[in-house]
Amino acid sequence: MYMEDTIAAISTPQGTGGIGIVRISGEKAFAIAGKVFRGKKPFEQLKSHTVSLGKIIDPQSGAMVDEVLLSKMVKPHTYTREDIVEINCHGGTAVIRKILELVIKEGARLAEPGEFTKRAFLNGRIDLSQAEAVIDLINSKTKESSRAAAAQLEGKLSRKLKAARDRLIELIAHMEVTFDYPEHDIEEVTGREVYRETKEIKETLCELARGFEKGRILREGLNAVIVGRPNVGKSSLLNELSGKNRAIVTDIPGTTRDVIEEYIDMNGIPVRIVDTAGIRETSDVVEKIGVERTQKEINEADLVIMMVDAAEGIKEEDWAILQTVRDKKLVVLINKVDLAEQRVIGEIEEKLAGYGPIRTSIKEEKGLDQLENAITRLFVKGEINPNSEVLVTNVRHKSLMDDAVRSLSEAMASYEAGMPLDCIAIDIKNAAESLGQITGESVSEDVMHRIFSRFCVGK
């Protein structure tokens, strides 16, 4: 990626829509836009951060391509801190591609994935962790996960990490004074200060890292699979939770032959919930393949929702399924309680007492709130509230924070063992380096490339 280039890309999703946006960023953005845009005023006279009505014209033929709204934004108060033009045209595929072709023909080049955001990072408008929050915000599936990403984009995590890194750098600077002026007898005092400061910074990082599991769940969501014998209500549960008729529901066992998935919001947690083929011995070749896929989904799941038919009671197949999922986080539902006697339901509950079963009737919409609350308790201790705490949502960030904590622990152990300050300083520098890789103050080009390659073109 060459920073002196002017880049352009379509910033709206592929396909037909009401509006399409072509974004241009770089030194030649205004010159290029001026060649293809015709409005009431010459392009040079348009004010910054205003929207102007006009037409896109092919400079060679003079033919009009589309009537558009154009936004002109003068640096540095832009997304990339470069001059930016955004052309809002009609969202037809042919129209938006033609406009992009004209822009590229006049001197821009097609942007690579994430290049606009990468320029925002390289030009100092955002740090690397904020840049990663952009893609998290785009990919968020629930209100709470979008709030967590927005908080990171706002810089809540960055400020905490930068404050910790600044303290480490200041500490290193004090230690360097000790190395440079050994004639001053201050090593013992400096050593105690180093130990105390290192311990405080380590505790701060550990406190941040403790929120990772909650943050990871908000960012990545949970994989939940519904299992049980055929015709216990698995497809009905998926349809009820998703609010759609995604799965075919009949009284005939074995109707579901393949896995069917849907994303839902459970108390702010994005959950990919999968309806599977009923688990049983079968000679049907297609159904057998479905059962094999069910087992694959169970192996990859974070959560298993096991359903038992209250009307039929617990059978040998149910105990076999429970044995299969014994190592997974599990919620057991006693379904169809509207069709069973209270005495029978009570007997089933006694047999499943160790699993804390929940009574449900999908038909009468009973027990679904208890199911959602049970799942939340299993994975999140306490309420999810990104506005009141800084959540670490990114695995890369958590790994680097762990590296920093280990380095600080080694520095403290070295001091306790009576090691000289120059040895302790190495571990503290390593900790500062790890934190710098999170915010981008010390990060390699390869890491940057991996991060921004996950972005869509146009962002």
Read off the pLDDT of residues 53-76 as tens digits, 9 standing for 90 and up.
999 999 999 999 999 999 999 999
CA distances from 357 to 174, 250, 317, 378, 459 (A): 60, 25, 17, 14, 46
User: Among 454, 444, 431, 449, which residue's Cα sits nearest to residue 167?
Assistant: 431
Spatial distance between the Cα atoms of 135 and 154, rounded to a whole number of angstroms = 14
pLDDT of residue 398: 92
List, for residues 158-217, the tens digit of each pLDDT value: 999 999 999 999 888 877 766 665 555 544 446 788 889 999 999 999 998 887 877 888
The average pLDDT across 78-93 equals 94
Cis peptide before 76 (omega within 30 of 0): yes
User: Among 77, 133, 95, which residue's Cα sits nearest to residue 10?
Assistant: 95
State the pLDDT confidence band at 231, using cuts at 50, 70 and 90: confident
Q: Residue 454 contacts by C-beta under 8 Å, 6 or more apart in sequence?
A: 113, 114, 135
Torsion region of 123: left, alpha or beta (phi above 0 gives left; psi -120 to 50 gives alpha): alpha
**Whether pLDDT at 458 is above 90:** no
First to last CA, the chain: 14
pLDDT of residue 387: 53
Comma-separated ranges of CATH 3.30.1360.120 domains in the chain: 7-127
Q: What's the burial of 44, exposed, middle or buried (CB within 10 Å: 0-12/13-18/19+)?
A: exposed
Range ranked top by mean pLDDT from 27-31, 212-216, 261-265: 27-31
**Residue pair 58/32 in contact by the 8 Å Cβ criterion:** no
CATH annotation of 220-379:
3.40.50.300
pLDDT of residue 381: 61
Spatial distance between the Cα atoms of 231 and 113, rounded to a whole number of angstroms = 46
Q: Which fold has domain 7-127?
A: Gyrase A; domain 2 (3.30.1360)
Q: What's the burial of 119, exposed, middle or buried (CB within 10 Å: 0-12/13-18/19+)?
A: buried
CATH annotation of 130-211+391-440:
1.20.120.430
Q: What's the burial of 311, exposed, middle or buried (CB within 10 Å: 0-12/13-18/19+)?
A: middle
**Whether pLDDT at 117 is above 70:** yes
Comma-separated ranges of CATH 1.20.120.430 domains in the chain: 130-211+391-440
pLDDT of residue 8: 96
pTM over 0.85: no
**Whether pLDDT at 48 is above 80:** yes
pLDDT of residue 250: 39
* Exposure on the CB side of residue 13, measured as CA atoms within 13 A: 5
pLDDT of residue 289: 59
372: how many CB neighbours lie within 10 A of its CB? 18
Phi, psi of 382 (to 5 degrees): 95, 175
Mean pLDDT of the chain: 84
Question: Among the listed ranges 174-188, 312-326, 393-407, which one has the minimum average pLDDT value?
Answer: 174-188
Question: Among the listed ranges 17-26, 137-146, 286-295, 303-312, which one has the minimum average pLDDT value?
Answer: 286-295
**Whether pLDDT at 246 is above 60:** no
Comma-separated ranges of CATH 3.40.50.300 domains in the chain: 220-379
State the pLDDT confidence band at 1, using cuts at 50, 70 and 90: very low
pLDDT of residue 202: 94
